[in-house]
Amino acid sequence: MPKGVLVDLSRCVGCRGCQVACKQWNQLPAEQTTWQGSYENPPDISPNTYTKVRFVEGNHREQFFWRFYKTQCKHCLEPACVSACLVKAMEKKPGGPVTYDEHRCMGCRYCMIACPFNTPKFEYDKAIPRIRKCQFCFDRQEVGRQPACVQTCPSGTLKFGERNELLDVAKIRIYKEPNKYVHHIYGEHEAGGTSWLYISDVPFEKLGFPTNIGTAPYPGLTKDFLYAVPIIFIAVPSLLLGISYIKNRRNEDK
């Protein structure tokens, strides 16, 4: 059964323990950063930062809010990056993780064009570069452990488990406190559904979640074209052969 993580934004205290735990487990170096006008750092996920907590200030129901939300690869159920990859460097594991294999990758960066969440990052500063992204700690999951970020979360914001069960948990929380939560589970249907699910007490568009993604799985966008390929491969040559046969016979008659 596919695994998932439920992120309850109303519980996050913005400690960024998940960010540190991720760096430790994946042995990612620290980044030189500058003051951005916010407590969050670095400015975005990057080749050396798979996950990052965003800090958002705003107004909701005439109340000031300060919210924190963790960003990383959403591990789509039908990932755009996997369908885009021509060498199967990106792979969807049965349990949920979308993984990357640098030994297959040719560095074309089509996965970056395809990903609706702009997740895969490329090592532009290296002579032998790789794509870098969260791999859902698939190595930890293989030995029955939860992802490093979930393990370290002190506030109960992150919950790891079966995706189906997490959807039930999310629905129960919204049902129990309908005035507190937004009635939407982000990731239940977005881009055909993602392994990472978010619930929040502030509307997702106010937090800067991408809201133009739709619910159709991304691989479907190129499916029609790819289905047409074998048809064209049979129809066009036979048509051309027929025309050239008729034309050349006519020329001979003249």
Partner 1 sequence: MNETTSVTAQGEVKGLVGFVKFIISELKPRGKVFTPFNIISGAIILLGAVLIIYRFAKGLGAATNLSQDYPWGLWIGFDVVTGVAFAGGAYTLTCMVYIFGAKKYSPIIRATVLSGFLAYAFYAGALLLDLGRPWNIINPIIGNAFGLSSVLFLVAWHFMLYMITELVEFSPAIAEWLGWKKLRKFLMGLTLGAVIFGITLSILHQSGLGALYLLAKGKIHPLWYSEFIPLLFFVSSIFAGVSLVIFEGTISHRVFKDLINPNLHASYEKIVAGLGKIALGAMFVYLFLKILVFIHGKNWEYISSPMGYWYLVEILGFVLLPLIIYIAGVKGGSIGLIRAASIITIVGIIINRLNVSIIAYKWDAPIRYFPSWIEIEITLAVICAEIWAFRWVIKRMPVLNERPDYKWMH
* Residues engaged in binding partner 1 (CB under 8 A): 44, 46, 80, 82-89, 102-110, 112-114, 116, 118, 121-130, 210, 212-214, 218-219, 221-222, 224-226, 229, 232-233, 236-237, 240-241, 243-244, 247-248, 250-251
Nearer to partner 1, 13 or 228 (CB): 228
Beta carbon of residue 241, minimum distance to partner 1 (angstroms, whole number): 6
Beta carbon of residue 169, minimum distance to partner 1 (angstroms, whole number): 30
Looking up tokens 């519980």, which residue turns up?
Answer: 11
Nearer to partner 1, 172 or 243 (CB): 243
Beta carbon of residue 107, minimum distance to partner 1 (angstroms, whole number): 2
The residue among 137, 144, 9 whose CA lies nearest residue 75 is 137
Strands (DSSP E) found in 43-201 = 52-60, 63-71, 90-92, 98-100, 121-122, 131-132, 158-162, 196-199
Nearer to partner 1, 9 or 114 (CB): 114
The residue among 58, 63, 53 whose CA lies nearest residue 12 is 53
Element (H, E) at 240: helix 220-253
- Residue 251 tokens, joined: 């020329």
Nearer to partner 1, 49 or 152 (CB): 49
Cβ(170)–Cβ(185) under 8 Å?
yes
Beta carbon of residue 253, minimum distance to partner 1 (angstroms, whole number): 12
